[in-house]
Amino acid sequence: MLNGLATVKEPPTHPLLHIHIHQKIDLNPLVALQFFQQSPLQSLSSQQSLPLMAEFLQQIDKAEGMENYYSKFLERFKTQRIRVKHLNKLSDMQFETCGVTAIGDIETIREAA
């Protein structure tokens, strides 16, 4: 060893590391899953807190001072089965598929979602 460092011929020894590597950690998979899964009631209540698409688009119309401008996209969103929770994940191309082509409109909808 040179100055307390390992060399090619003398590798470092770490007895504590050796002990920790060989210790087995038992986790009950069912207990671990409980931390990550939502109950059906929890997921249902979170979905109910989101407004319906029609209400959401009406809120944007009202906030932007546009009478039924954003509401006109409702049918295309319905055709594509888009919900409010999906809006902030849509790409520009997906918005265009739903008839929303103006950059400002896309950004307004994303920000509101």
> Which has the higher per-residue pLDDT, 103 or 40?
103
Q: What percent of the chain has pLDDT over 70?
A: 58
Q: What is the pLDDT of residues 10-42, one digit of tens each?
A: 766 655 555 555 555 555 555 555 544 554 544
Residue 2 has pLDDT above 80, yes or no: no
Asked if residues 57 and 68 have their Cβ atoms less than 8 Å apart, the reply is no
Alpha carbons 105 and 84: distance in angstroms, whole number: 15
The Cβ-side half-sphere exposure at 113, using a 13 Å CA radius, reads: 18
Distance CA 91, CA 84 (A): 14
Of the chain, the end-to-end C-alpha distance in Å amounts to 62
Q: In order of start, what are the domains of the chain with their CATH numbers?
A: 49-112 (1.10.150)
> Mean pLDDT across the stretch 59-88?
95
Beta bridge partner(s), residue 25: none
Q: Quick one: pLDDT at residue 112?
A: 94
**pTM for this entry:** 0.56
